[in-house]
C-alpha cells in the first residue's frame, strides 16, 4: 500500500500517537549524573488565554530555581488547560504524553540544566480551538510541577489560575469552560465519474466536505474508504496530509467548531475497466486524539457518505 504526502509538510500530532509522542521542538536535554540532584522550587504566573479568530492563545510563565549546591536538570509536568492545546515550551524539550486527566493530556517536558542558585524561566504555549465567548471563562485544577533530575519524590508543585479573556476584553466573573468530549463530525460527498486517460486508465476528481461540529479535542481526522473493485484513492488535494489506496487524512489542519472544509479526492481505476456503473463507495471519517485512539461521535450515522462510481466510455 503506497502512502502519498507532499514534501516538507508536517503530519498532524495525532499520527504520532503509536509511541510516546514528542511535543516539544527544543533540543533534548543531556542526561545528568544521578548524584547531581538538588532541591528545585517553582513559581508560576496565571495563564491568560486571549481570543483570536481561531480560538484562544496564551503563554504560561514558570520560573524554576535551583536551591541546591549542585547543577540540576529539571523535569516539568503539567495538565493542559484544555485537551490538545499544548503547543510549545521554551527553552527545553522534548515533551511526552503521560496520560489523560478529565480528557486533558498530562504532559512532561525536559528542561535545561540550572546551576546552583540560578533560575530558569520557561514559557509554555497553549492554543485552545474553541469558539471565543463574550464572557470570561476559567479552568479549575491547573498546576505545574518540577522534579530535580527526574526524581518524582522530590517534586515541587505550583498552582496557577487559568482564565479565558472574553471577546469584550474582560477577565471578571469567569464561567467554567467545559470542553466537548465526543466529536461531532459530518461527511458529505457526491457521485463521481472517472474519465478515460490516453493510456486507457481512468481518473476522477471528487469534492468531499467535512464538518467539525464542536470543540472536542483531536489531532487527526482519518477517513476510511470503501470503494468498488479496482477503484483506489490516488491522492488528495491539497496534499498536506497522507493518503493511501483505501483512505486519507483530512487536510487543512485543526478545525474550529462549526467549520466546514471542502477538498478533492482523486480516484483512479486501471486500464481495461469497463464503462458504466462500477458500484457504490463510501467514506467514513473519525476523530483521533490521545495515542491515536478513536474518539466517540455524538451521531455516527452522518460520519459516512455513500456515492456511486461510474466509468466513462472509451470515446
Q: What is the pLDDT of residues 58-72, one digit of tens each?
A: 999 999 999 999 999
Average pLDDT, the chain: 88
Count of beta carbons in the 10 Å neighbourhood of residue 259: 14
pTM: 0.85
Interval 125-151: pLDDT, tens: 999 999 999 999 999 989 999 999 868
Q: Residue 55 to residues 49, 204, 270: CA-CA distances in angstroms?
A: 9, 36, 45
Q: What is the gyration radius of the CA atoms in the chain, in angstroms?
A: 24
* pLDDT above 80: residue 27: no
Sign of the C-alpha dihedral, residues 124, 249, 27, 77?
positive
- The percent of residues above 70 in pLDDT, for the chain, comes to 87
pLDDT greater at residue 10 or residue 23: 23
Average pLDDT over residues 301-313: 97
Kindly indicate the confidence band of residue 294, based on its pLDDT and cuts at 50, 70 and 90: confident
Kindly indicate the confidence band of residue 211, based on its pLDDT and cuts at 50, 70 and 90: very high
* pLDDT above 90: residue 152: no
Kindly indicate the confidence band of residue 21, based on its pLDDT and cuts at 50, 70 and 90: very low
Query: Are 77 and 145 contacting, i.e. CB atoms less than 8 angstroms apart?
Result: yes
For the chain, first and last CA: distance in Å? 31
Kindly indicate the confidence band of residue 183, based on its pLDDT and cuts at 50, 70 and 90: very high
Which phi-psi region, left, alpha or beta, contains residue 102 (left: φ > 0; alpha: ψ -120 to 50)? left
Amino acid at each position: 500500500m503506497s502512502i502519498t504526502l507532499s514534501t516538507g509538510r508536517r503530519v498532524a500530532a495525532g499520527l504520532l500517537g503509536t509511541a510516546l509522542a514528542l511535543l516539544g521542538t527544543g533540543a533534548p536535554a543531556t542526561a545528568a549524573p544521578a548524584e547531581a540532584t538538588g532541591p528545585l522550587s517553582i513559581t508560576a504566573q496565571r495563564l491568560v488565554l486571549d481570543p483570536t479568530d481561531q480560538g484562544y492563545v496564551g503563554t504560561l510563565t514558570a520560573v524554576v530555581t535551583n536551591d541546591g549546591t549542585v547543577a540540576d536538570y529539571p523535569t516539568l509536568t503539567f495538565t493542559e488547560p484544555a485537551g490538545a492545546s499544548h503547543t510549545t515550551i521554551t527553552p527545553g524539550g522534548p515533551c511526552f504524553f503521560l496520560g489523560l486527566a478529565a480528557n486533558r493530556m498530562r504532559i512532561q517536558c525536559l528542561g535545561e540544566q540550572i546551576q546552583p542558585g540560578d533560575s530558569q524561566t520557561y514559557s509554555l504555549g497553549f492554543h485552545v480551538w474553541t469558539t471565543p465567548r463574550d464572557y470570561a471563562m476559567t479552568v479549575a485544577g491547573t498546576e505545574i510541577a518540577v522534579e530535580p533530575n527526574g526524581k518524582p519524590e522530590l517534586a515541587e508543585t505550583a498552582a496557577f489560575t487559568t482564565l479565558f479573556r472574553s471577546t469584550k476584553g474582560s477577565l471578571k466573573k469567569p464561567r467554567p469552560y467545559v470542553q466537548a468530549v465526543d466529536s461531532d463530525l459530518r461527511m458529505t460527498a457526491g457521485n463521481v465519474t472517472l474519465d478515460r486517460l490516453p493510456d486507457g486508465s481512468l481518473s476522477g476528481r471528487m469534492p468531499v466536505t467535512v464538518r467539525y461540529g464542536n470543540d472536542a479535542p483531536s489531532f487527526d481526522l482519518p477517513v476510511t474508504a470503501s470503494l468498488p473493485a479496482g477503484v483506489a484513492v490516488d491522492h488528495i488535494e491539497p496534499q498536506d496530509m497522507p493518503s493511501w489506496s483505501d483512505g486519507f487524512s483530512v487536510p487543512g489542519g485543526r478545525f474550529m467548531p462549526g467549520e466546514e472544509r471542502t477538498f478533492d479526492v482523486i480516484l483512479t481505476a486501471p486500464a481495461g475497466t469497463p464503462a458504466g456503473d462500477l458500484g457504490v463507495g463510501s467514506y467514513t471519517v473519525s476523530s483521533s486524539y490521545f495515542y491515536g485512539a478513536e474518539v466517540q461521535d455524538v451521531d455516527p450515522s452522518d460520519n459516512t457518505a455513500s456515492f456511486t462510481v461510474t466509468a466513462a466510455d472509451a470515446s
